[in-house]
Chains A and B, each alone.
Chain A
Amino acid sequence: MTIQKTRVRPAAPPVKRRRTPTTNVADVGRPGFIWAAPATLFFGAFAIVPLIMVVVLSFMSWDGIGDPEFTGFDNWRRVFDDPVMIKSIWLSLLLTALGVLLQTPLSIMLGVWAAGNQKNRAVLSAVYFVPLLLSATAVSVVWRALLDPNFGVPAEATWLFGDGNLFGEQATAIGVLAFVSTWQFTPFHTLIYQGAARAIPQVLYQAAEIDGAGRYRQFFHVTLPQLRNAIMTSMILMVVGGLTTFETVLILTQGGPGTDTTISAYYMYEEAFKSFDYGAGATVALVLVLAATAISLIMVRLSGYDKMRSTTEGL
Chain B
Amino acid sequence: MRRRPNYLAGAGSLIWLFLIGLPLYVMVTATLKTQSDFVQGGPLGLPTDITFDNFTGAFDTGFGRYFLNTLLVTVCVVGIVLLLVPPLSYSIVRSRGRVTTGVFRLFLLGLAIPLQAVIIPMFYLISEAGLYDNLIGVILPTAAFALPVSTLILSGTMRDISRELFEAMAMDGATPRRMFFQLVLPLSRGGLATIVVFSALQAWNGFLFPLVLTQSEESKVITLGLYNFQTERGIDAPGLLAAVLLSMIPVLLVYLFARRALVRGLMGVGGK
Contact = CB atoms under 8 A, between A and B. Distances in A.
Interface of A: 1-6, 8-9, 11-12, 25-33, 35-36, 38-40, 42-51, 53-54, 57, 62, 64, 68, 106, 109-110, 113, 121, 124, 126-138, 141-146, 148, 151-153, 155-156, 183, 188-189, 191-192, 194-196, 199, 206, 209, 215, 229-230, 233-234, 237, 240, 243-244, 246-247, 250-251, 265, 268-269, 272-273, 278, 281-282, 285-286, 288-289, 292-293, 296
Contact of B230 (A31, A106, A141, A230): A141
B68 interface: no
Interface stretch (B49-57, B86-94, B187-195): B86-94
A39 B266 contact: no
B106 A40 contact: yes
Nearest to A113: B9
A240 B112 contact: yes
Interface in B101-118: 101, 103-104, 106-108, 110-118
Contacts of B251: 133-134
B263 interface: yes
A9 B94 CA distance: 11
A33 B119 contact: no
A28 B170 contact: yes
B247 to A, nearest CB: 6
A50 B121 contact: yes
Contacts of B217: none
Given A39-B147, A50-B125, A53-B124, A133 B248 contact: yes
A146 B26 CA distance: 8
B199 interface: no
Q: Which of B87, B120, B123 has the most CB of A within 10 A?
A: B120
A253 to B, nearest CB: 13
B21 interface: yes
Interface string B256-272: 00010011001101111
A269 B119 CA distance: 9
Given A31-B180, A135-B207, A246-B208, A143 B23 contact: yes
Contacts of B159: 4
B263 A33 contact: no
A151 B43 contact: yes
- What does DSSP make chain B's interface, helix, strand, loop or mixed? helix
Interface of B: 1, 3, 6, 9, 12-13, 16-17, 19-24, 26-27, 30, 38-39, 42-44, 80, 83-85, 87-88, 90-101, 103-104, 106-108, 110-125, 140-141, 143-145, 147-148, 151, 156, 159, 163, 166-167, 169-171, 173-176, 179-180, 201, 204-208, 212, 223, 226-227, 229-230, 234-235, 237, 240-241, 244, 247-248, 251-252, 255, 259, 262-263, 266-267, 269-272
Contacts of A53: 118, 121, 124-125
Contacts of B20: 127-128, 130-131, 183
A6 B104 contact: yes
B120 A32 contact: no
Nearest to A58: B120
A153 B44 CA distance: 7
Contacts of B144: 42-43, 45-47
Contacts of B12: 109-110, 113
Contacts of B13: 110, 113, 121, 124
B114 A151 contact: no
B100 A47 contact: no
Contact of B201 (A12, A106, A133, A138): A133
A33 B205 contact: no
A181 to B, nearest CB: 13
B103 A36 contact: yes
Contacts of A237: 270
Given A151-B38, A233-B271, A50 B118 contact: yes
Q: Which of A29, A30, A40 has the most CB of B within 10 A?
A: A29
A230 B268 CA distance: 12
B17 A128 contact: yes
Given A36-B95, A54-B121, A57-B121, A138 B272 contact: no
A59 to B, nearest CB: 13
Q: Which 5 A-B residue pairs are closest in the complex by CB-CB distance? A: A192-B270, A46-B144, A135-B205, A53-B121, A35-B91
Contacts of A11: 96, 98
Nearest to A139: B23
Given A137-B205, A137-B227, A233-B271, A46 B248 contact: no
Contacts of A144: 230, 234
Contacts of B207: 135-137, 247
A138 B244 contact: yes
A296 B176 CA distance: 39
A189 to B, nearest CB: 8
